[in-house]
A and B are shown apart, each in its own frame.
Chain A
Amino acid sequence: MTTISAQFRNYREPTKDEAIRSFFNAPPAGPGEIPPTGKDVVEISAVMSLRGEEQSYSGRLYLMPPFLAFISLDKKSARFTLPLYTIRRVEKVNSRAGMFELALVLWHQMKINVQLTSLRPTADAFCAQLRDALKAQLPQMKRLRPFVRVSYSEHLIKEDGEEYMDGEDDVKDGEDQGDADDVQEAKTEFLGGLGLTFKFPGDSKKLREKSKLKLWKEYLRTHGRNATLVRYPSVQRLIQVGLPNRLRGDLWETLSGSIYLRFANQGMYEEILAKHAGETSTSTEDIEKDLNRSLPEYRAYQSEMGIGTLRRVLTAYSWKNREVGYCQAMNILVAAILIYMSEEQAFWLLEVLCNRLLPGYYSPSMHGTLLDQKVFESLVSRCLPIISEHFHEVDVQLSVASLPWFLSLYINSMPMIFAFRIVDCFFAMGPKVLFQVGLAILKINGEKLLEIQDDGGFIHLMRDYFNTLGDSAHPQASDPRMRAITNFQELLVVAFREFSVITDDTIIAERKRHRNEIVTGIESFSKRAAVRNLKDPGQFKKEQLGAIYDTLYRAICNVSASGSGANAIAQLETTDAQGRAETRIDIRTYRIFLSNVATWARDETVVSNAFVERVDRTVAEHELIDRMFFFWDITHRGALSFQDIVTGLNGVMFNDLMSNIEWFFTVHDKDKDGFLSRDDVLQLSESLLFIFRNEIGDAYLGAVSNFMANAFEYGDALQPQINGAVEVAEGERPPEPPTNTPYLNLATFRMVVLADELLESFFDADFSATFKLELAPGPESPSETPGLMAGIGGLLSNLITDENKKTLNRFADELGKSIGRHQVTYRPAIGKVDRDMALQEPKLREPFVSPQMRDRSMSSGSLTSAASNSSLPTPSSELNAPGFLPPQLPTFPALPERTPFAIDEVKDDDEDDEDEDDLVVTAGDESLDEVDAFLQENAD
């Protein structure tokens, strides 16, 4: 539950090129395939005709290496997606003047003519690009022959003893196939699924397998097959009456385009299996549990052979796509597919399902499923308003029944033979089929649906309906042909006729419309779960935990959005003690996270130009932040979980003076031995300087150098004792001990810190106060980045989208500069000090820094000797009167406890405050005015 997926939030609409590729079932272009122009799809108007068909179609021709694709203007009559490696020859046909026509001869001997109807230069350019692309694919052609040879479609064509059609051409093409190959070819078996061994579901006579096969054989002979199929209108009808069992797998991969993936990645399936042999994961454990429950009524899955096949495909895929891993319902899908396909075919079809056809359905957040349920609901309310209203009235949720329809492509809901026919259409026509069928189911059952009163009634009604799909839809009809129409046939007719208005574009638009709603829903769910599942919420309230979660979430989104793919491992998936998946963040994400929580962990520049004032944030980097990361990483995994972060923040945000000092000490005690080494002390000083880096004035700088001086002084003073009293001559520095030996313990450190008023107040409240949780009122829009959220911008930021904001800011800056009104100031980490210090600066510098420093260095010699006598020098007294330090030492001979210090300090403080209070206020106002005046001067 603590899994945080940023993927969905960072969803971006596909580019036009990507959408075109997706439409043609072509795999997305790899990074190497996109030309420098960034445009990898070229299109042109064309008229396409196929030898043997009378009809020709005008439409658009697309070149998107390695494919050439065509779609007729009506978007359904004719189309093809041809891999360039299946094109054997391209000739320019000399025809009437002005006509530019190409003749393509394909691997399967079909001849396609395309007339390019665009202007001549465009056509010329297209041809040139086609030629280059064809050349590039030439090497692939060699692999085609063994690849298609094992397709069932090839087997079907040649099974009557006809000559293998491309045989003669091999010689012509000069491809060296050799005789041995031919011999082997005769024996080669074709790819197929478990159905070949265990029989296919359904009665083959009733399904009229033979005549269907015959029709397909005719079609495939003239229109190409497997890699070269050209779709003409008749193919639609052939698909809608149900694919023949033996050819089903072959056609599924052709129609869905998974065959191109299998071709491009030959052998990968076996490699994945070999590489992960014997390995287990939560996915493989889940798979094991479901193996025996995947279509158990089918005989193959009562045998080890069938189970083994299913196990291998699911397991291999869980390794291939780790984000998805394994989701229940995939087992049913794969079990069904494997009846008709070989393992490798099924593997690649699953890839197409998860990535393109059912995107996000099976991912850990199941956002695709939720989204499509929402889309379906919205379509129902639009197309079947009466049913929708009734459901609303009786509080029945559509998804209780429709969820499994989509998730398992109806396989789990209907008798298999019917479900497979829907799957046939689904692979051929895409996801809209699922919606059309769903709507048809509701429409057909409309009257009964209006009678149901609750979820249970709905489920029962649907169950009964699915059980009668094979029955006559019109049992009372006098016409025997009418009586022969089954409920299922009626369903398909309604789906494809009455709901033909539901197109791909409808689905795309609806998904877009509801996406944000789903994101918000998922996010609030996982947030709730994450907060609830915290073992130890510390002293935080629920809203604060929510704010921490939000900040963390934004950091993750930020990193994965900026990640250029290769470094997208901002979040690491692990499992917690309960075996739950859990998201951990790496140090990079941590820095971003912290920068949004702690004021000193970011650099904020206040930029004011002529128009607006805004705050730019950048993430700071410092050793301190890294140390905190490892300090919080209690399990030493190099990554923090939500719980780690909550615990870590809890350990610093609610601290009082003493625990803050201790916290700071521990963070810097690298070897955790209870002592700071010299290196640690230096590091600690640097950390302080880092935190104070943007404070105005020198006061903090002074305090830190003060601190360093004191620390080394006391440290040195104690050193001889620890080492066994080394005599140090007056005024001489003691020999430098190795820099990494234990040096300063907590008590001493505390003392040194308390010696400085500024540091004390820093540790007392200011440090904890630098941690601020922003309680975001609502979910941020996906593209918003933390840097911009801090923007002030007023009117402008309301009017402008985030993408434009940066550009506009830059523009305004330039303009501001040009008219001399551009200013950049750093915003300090500790607000309060900024005011105090800015004003007091001139006065403080004298008494606070310089003299003290001078005293310090002067007295250092005497202090050393004095300190060597008393184990723990007191810091309290030196605050106001450093000179009195030695005499006061005996007053507190050994101060192991912190209480006296505290009391003492408080007293001192009070006095000081009283003295300075008035000063501060007045000085403050004055200097503010000064600043204003200064600014104005400069501005003009």
Chain B
Amino acid sequence: MRFVQNDFSENKEPTIGAAFLTQKCRLEDRVLRYEIWDTAGQERFHSLAPMYYRNAQAAVVVYDITKATSLEKAKSWVKELQRQANPNIVIALVGNKLDLVQASSGTGGAPGASEEGEEEEPDDATATPGEGEEPAEGEQSLRQVPKEEAAAYAQEAGLLFAETSAKTGEGVVEVFTEIAKKIPIEHILASARGGPAGGRAGAAQGRAQAGNVNLQEGAPGGGKACNC
């Protein structure tokens, strides 16, 4: 939501299966079209997830930095993706709700999307109850997942890593930009017919590779209940 509409909404219809969003973005001299699948958060929907990530070029796995268990769930998602999804998939691990652990707060943002393809994202966009109002105890007050720990894991597993705030928008666009840089676009474009702007580029076969980009699954991001 934040990435696509630059918006953060507290209340939003829950995702049934997955919500589909698109966004165009300029990267260097090209326009990229992100097609994002925001997969449902509830545990029991996970058996449906392969349907959305099967052709994805990238995935954003989101966890909640204020909830230690969410990182564990995110890890199991990463494993699933590495084993079941497109072998060249670019995975980004994103710790969300940065706004909650920063004394100086911004305002809102949601997690992101992907490029030319589908992606799932759990949208942590929604409401975190009680946000913000912690009397500036300073950083780390609510944090349960140290940045170093998650970053170390990401490094080890070969993932992109970032911390963001969907609420304030901090870091969100960067995540998607990083993903776009890492996806072998040239390669994809070469195999897809023509379309300079990615996106729907290829037909059947082109698309299988080029088409969809990422999914982002979220760990219990915000209110969105994404629990992997």
A393 touches B16 (CB 8 A): no
- Which residues of chain B are near A578, meaning CB under 8 Å? 69, 72-73
Q: Is the CB of B207 within 8 A of A408?
A: no
Contact residues of A between 600 and 649, Cβ < 8 Å to B: none
Interface string of A441-474 (1 = CB under 8 A from B): 0000000000001111101000000000000000
A526: chain B residues within 8 A (beta carbon): 47
Contact for B16 among A364, A408, A455, CB less than 8 A:
A408
Smallest CB–CB gap between A772 and chain B, Å?
Answer: 28
The residues of B that contact A286 with a CB separation of less than 8 Å are: 42, 225
The answer to the question of A144 belonging to the interface, with a C-beta cut-off of 8 Å to chain B, is no
| Pair A400/B42 contact, Cβ less than 8 Å | no
Specify which chain A residues have a CB less than 8 angstroms from the CB of B15 in the assembled complex: 328
Q: Does A862 contact B (CB under 8 A)?
A: no
Interface residues of A in 671-713 (CB under 8 A from B): none
Interface status of A113 (Cβ within 8 A of chain B)? no
Sort chain B's interface into a size bin.
35 or more
The smallest beta-carbon distance between A77 and chain B, in angstroms, is 37
Among A288-296, A553-561, A841-849, the stretch in contact with B: A288-296
CA distance A37 to B58 in the complex (A): 62
- On whether the beta carbons of B35 and A456 are closer than 8 Å, the reply is yes
Q: Are A293 and B11 in contact (CB under 8 A)?
A: yes
A529 interfacial by beta-carbon distance below 8 Å: yes
Task: Using known A-B contacts A286-B42, A328-B40, determine if residue A394 contacts B203 with beta carbons closer than 8 Å.
Answer: yes
Check: A397 CB closer than 8 A to any chain B CB.
yes
Chain B residues with CB under 8 A of A884? none
B157 at the interface (CB under 8 A from A): no
In the complex, whether A383 has a CB less than 8 A from a CB of chain B is: no
Q: How far is the CA of A455 from the CA of B225 in the complex (A)?
A: 25
- Range of interface residues on chain A? 35 or more
In the complex, which residues of chain B have a beta carbon less than 8 angstroms from the beta carbon of A454? 35, 200, 207, 211-212
Contact indicator B227/A403 (Cβ below 8 Å): no
Closest approach, in angstroms, between the C-beta of A834 and any C-beta of chain B?
43
User: Distance in Å from the Cβ of A467 to the closest Cβ of chain B?
Assistant: 15
| A289-B224, A400-B18, A577-B69 known; A366 vs B200 contact (CB < 8 Å) | no
Instruction: Name the B residues within 8 Å of A755 (CB-CB).
Output: none
B10 at the interface (CB under 8 A from A): yes
Q: Which residues of A contact B73 (CB under 8 A)?
A: 578, 580
Once the chains bind, are A407 and B16 in contact (CB under 8 Å)?
yes
B57 shortest CB reach to chain A, Å: 12
Q: Is the CB of A366 within 8 A of B118?
A: no
B132 within 8 A of A: no
Q: Mark B68-86, 1 if CB is under 8 A from A, else 0.
A: 0100110010011001100
| Residues of chain A lying within 8 A (CB to CB) of residue B45 | 328, 366
CA distance A412 to B69 in the complex (A): 31
Complex interface bits, B1-41 against A, C-beta within 8 A gives 1, otherwise 0: 00000000011111111101010000000000001000011
Q: Are A522 and B47 in contact (CB under 8 A)?
A: yes
Complex Cα gap A393–B207 (Å): 11
With A and B bound together, what is the CA distance between A730 and B200 in angstroms?
97
The reply to whether B48 and A403 form a contact with Cβ atoms under 8 Å apart is yes
Within 8 A of A (CB), among B114-142: 118, 126-127
Contact: A366 with B47, CB < 8 Å?
A: yes
Q: Which residues of A contact B216 (CB under 8 A)?
A: none
| Minimum C-beta distance from A412 to chain B (A) | 6
Q: A332 touching B118 by the CB < 8 A rule?
A: no
Q: Look across to chain B and name the residue whose beta carbon is closest to the beta carbon of A400.
A: B51
The docked-state distance in angstroms from the alpha carbon of A31 to that of B126 is 46
In the bound complex, residues from chain A placing their C-beta under 8 Å from that of B48 are: 366, 369-370, 399, 403
Whether a CB of chain A sits under 8 angstroms from the CB of B106 is: no
For residues 143 through 202 of chain B, which have their beta carbon under 8 Å from a beta carbon of chain A?
200, 202
A403 touches B80 (CB 8 A): no
What is the minimal beta-carbon distance from B111 to any residue of chain A, in angstroms? 16
Contacts A455-B118, A456-B35 given; does A329 touch B16 at CB 8 Å: yes
* A456 pairs with B14, CB closer than 8 A: no
Q: Which residues of A contact B16 (CB under 8 A)?
A: 328-329, 332, 403-404, 407-408, 412
CA distance A456 to B41 in the complex (A): 20
B17 to chain A, nearest CB (A): 4
Given A327-B44, A394-B204, A400-B17, the answer on whether A289 and B79 have CB atoms closer than 8 Å is no
A116-152 CB contact bits vs B (8 Å, 1 = yes)?
0000000000000000000000000000000000000
Which residues, 335 to 388 on A, are CB-close (under 8 Å) to B?
A: 363-366, 369-370
- Taking CB as reference atom, which chain A residue is nearest B71? A578
- B202 cross-chain contacts in A, Cβ below 8 A: 453
A407 partner, pick from B10, B17, B207, B224, beta carbons under 8 A: B17
Instruction: Please give the distance in Å from B97's CB to the nearest CB on chain A.
Output: 14
> Taking the nearest CB of chain A, how far is it from the CB of B167, in angstroms?
16
Docked CA distance A393–B79 (Å): 30
Q: Judging by beta carbons under 8 Å apart, are A289 and B207 in contact?
A: no
- The complex places the Cα of A532 from the Cα of B83 at a distance, in Å, of 10
Q: What string of 1s and 0s marks CB contacts (under 8 Å) between B48-63 and chain A?
A: 1001101100000000
Report if A1 contacts B (CB, 8 A).
yes
Which residue on A lies nearest to B72, using beta carbons? A578
Query: Is A318 positioned at the interface, with any CB of B under 8 Å from its CB?
Result: no
A366–B40 CA distance with the chains assembled, in angstroms: 13
Residues of A within 8 Å of B46, CB to CB, are 1, 529
Docked pose: A522 CA to B50 CA in angstroms: 12
Q: How far is the CB of A362 from chain B (nearest CB, A)?
A: 8
Closest chain-A Cβ to B81's Cβ sits at a distance in Å of 11
CB atoms of B200 and A457 under 8 A apart: yes
- Chain B residue numbers with a CB within 8 Å of A580 are 43, 73
Contacts of A393 in B (CB 8 A): 204
Cβ of A581 within 8 Å of any chain B Cβ, yes or no, is: yes
Q: Output the nearest chain A residue to B118 by Cβ-Cβ distance.
A: A455
In angstroms, how far is the closest chain B Cβ from the Cβ of A393? 6
Are A292 and B69 also in contact (CB < 8 A) when A400-B52, A403-B17 are? no
Complex alpha-carbon distance, A366 and B44, angstroms: 7
User: In whole angstroms, what is the CA distance A83 to B41 when docked?
Assistant: 43
Contact with A along B210-225 (1 / 0, CB 8 A): 0110000000000111
Interface centre among A289, A329, A363 (most CB of B within 10 A): A289
Instruction: Report the separation of the CA atoms of residues A896 and B148 in the bound assembly, to the nearest whole angstrom.
Output: 47
The answer to whether B47 and A370 have CB atoms under 8 Å apart is yes
Flag A513-537 by CB within 8 Å of B: 1 or 0 each: 0000000001001101100110000
Give the residues in chain A near B207, CB-CB below 8 Å: 394-395, 453-454
Which of A457, A525, A579 is in CB contact (< 8 Å) with B227? Answer: A579
On whether the beta carbons of A296 and B13 are closer than 8 Å, the reply is yes
B224: chain A residues within 8 A (beta carbon): 289
Could you tell me if B118 and A328 are in contact, using CB atoms closer than 8 angstroms?
no
Q: Are A412 and B35 in contact (CB under 8 A)?
A: no
| Residue B103 CB within 8 A of the other chain | no
A412-B16, A454-B212 in contact; A365/B203 too (CB < 8 A)?
no
Among A293, A331, A370, the one with the most B-chain Cβ atoms within 10 Å of its Cβ is A293
B40: chain A residues at CB < 8 Å are 328
User: What 0/1 readout, one digit per residue, does chain A (393-434) give for beta carbons within 8 Å of chain B?
Assistant: 111010110011001100010000000000000000000000
- Asked whether A533 lies within 8 Å of B76 as measured between CB atoms, the reply is yes
Interface residues of B (CB under 8 A from A): 10-18, 20, 22, 35, 40-48, 51-52, 54-55, 69, 72-73, 76, 79-80, 83-84, 118, 126-127, 200, 202-204, 207-208, 211-212, 223-225, 227
Q: Which 10 pairs across A and B sit closest by C-beta, in order of nearness?
A: A404-B16, A289-B225, A403-B17, A292-B11, A578-B69, A459-B20, A456-B35, A394-B204, A328-B42, A578-B72
Interface contacts beyond A455-B55, A456-B22: sample of 9 additional A-B pairs, CB < 8 Å, sorted by A: A293-B11, A366-B48, A397-B51, A400-B20, A400-B51, A407-B17, A453-B202, A454-B200, A456-B35
Listed A/B pairs (16) with beta-carbon separation below 8 Å = A1-B43, A1-B46, A293-B12, A293-B14, A294-B14, A328-B14, A328-B41, A365-B44, A394-B207, A397-B54, A403-B17, A453-B202, A453-B204, A453-B207, A456-B200, A459-B20
Q: A: which residues have CB within 8 A of B? A: 1, 286, 289-290, 292-296, 327-329, 331-332, 363-366, 369-370, 393-395, 397, 399-400, 403-404, 407-408, 412, 453-457, 459, 522, 525-526, 528-529, 532-533, 577-581
